[in-house]
Amino acid sequence: MMLPDGQPGVICYSFDSTKLREADAALRASEERLSAELAAMTALHKIGALVVHEDNFSAVLEQIVESAITIAGADFGNIQLLNPISHRLEIAAQRGFAQWYLDYWASVDEGEGSCGTALERGDRVIVDDVEQSPIFAGTPALEIQRRAGVRAVLSIPLFSRSGSLLGMFSTHYKRPHSPDEHTLRFLDLLARHGGDIIARTQAEKALRRSEEHFHRLYDSNIVGIVRADMEHVIDANDVFLNMVEYTRDDLTTGRIRWREMTPPEQFHLDERSLAEMNATGSCKPFEKELFRKESGGESPGERVETEPV
């Protein structure tokens, strides 16, 4: 640039870079938040899509721990199940901890550490710095956390839909940390998913145990037992089959119907007894008379007097 007197000159521009830096920081924070939200939603979708069976239950619990660590941006994590007899928390899955640490926290009572405090309160517990927390002050657990490199902990209870406490998952951090409300909302969603999975799996396991117990009693009973509606035989134990001299296939495949095994006058009594039980929701014994299979034939033969069934 030339000045009016023909001498060369310089033009200087100045601007405040503070707003530019602030805008750049806000953009990075927004990108990080979007990335975290995408990771959280992906983790929740993965948990929601799981098909859970008893034989893959441990792997599912491990996936819940992985999802919790991802959503919370944590360094370690574990999930504990509540022992219904001792009412203590027991580690069922974890990531990142040494065995000595797992041994120390293998069984946790109310009020012990963040997870035991959450168990006692029935609500989430946030310890943003174990060095400053009254939960750990003056306890052996503080030295355990120091040795493991744990500086912050978040524990969230897992409930069934009926409100029963089933367990706990906890995320652990190497630095002081306090999760924001946005992260906590995602973790609460994960806790609901986890609670549903645990409740459903435990219910299926209890049902399977009940069925196995029933079948042991059913098959070993010295009394003839038959399960049937008014038309079909569903199943019968060996004692009953020996009494009527039919095979299990004869009865359960429909070759012989319940009506055909029963004298007409007895069938009407059966209908009345069944109607009473359906109306009252009760089950009571009643005398039963049946036809035994004719020797060498397919049609009913002589009558069999039975004990109350």
Each domain of the chain, given as residue ranges in start order, spans 23-208, 222-305
CA pair distance 307, 309, nearest whole angstrom: 6
Average pLDDT, the chain: 80
Give the containing element (helix H, strand E) for 113: helix 113-121
Tokens standing for residue 185: 């909302």
CA-to-CA dists, residue 250 to 17, 191, 210, 229, angstroms: 91, 51, 28, 16
> Could you tell me if 259 and 267 are in contact, meaning their C-beta atoms sit under 8 angstroms apart?
yes
What pLDDT digit, counting tens, does each position of 109-153 carry? 999 999 999 999 999 999 999 999 999 999 999 999 999 999 999
pLDDT for 45: 60
> Could you tell me if 138 and 131 are in contact, meaning their C-beta atoms sit under 8 angstroms apart?
no
**Least confidently predicted of 58-72, 176-190, 249-263:** 249-263
Percent of all residues in the chain with a pLDDT value above 90, rounded to a whole number = 37
Asked if pLDDT for residue 308 goes beyond 50, the answer is: no
Domain 23-208 class in CATH: alpha beta
With the C-alpha atoms ordered 196, 199, 203, 206, is the resulting torsion angle positive or negative? positive
Secondary structure of residue 91 in the 3-state scheme: strand
Q: Which residue has the tokens 């509540």?
A: 82
Residues near 74 by beta carbon (within 8 Å), at least 6 away in sequence: 68, 154, 171, 172, 173
Residues near 283 by beta carbon (within 8 Å), at least 6 away in sequence: 277
Give the containing element (helix H, strand E) for 107: strand 107-108
* Residues 194-210, mean pLDDT to the nearest whole number: 84
- The C-alpha angle 53, 54, 56, rounded to 5 degrees, equals 70
What pLDDT digit, counting tens, does each position of 281-307 carry? 666 555 566 666 654 444 454 555 444
CA pair distance 247, 263, nearest whole angstrom: 20
Better pLDDT: 246 or 71: 71
- Most confident among 39-43, 139-143, 217-221 (mean pLDDT): 139-143
Residue 172 backbone phi and psi in degrees, to 5: -130, 145
Residue 11 backbone phi and psi in degrees, to 5: -105, 130
Tokens standing for residue 151: 């500086």
What pLDDT digit, counting tens, does each position of 174-190 carry? 999 999 998 998 899 88
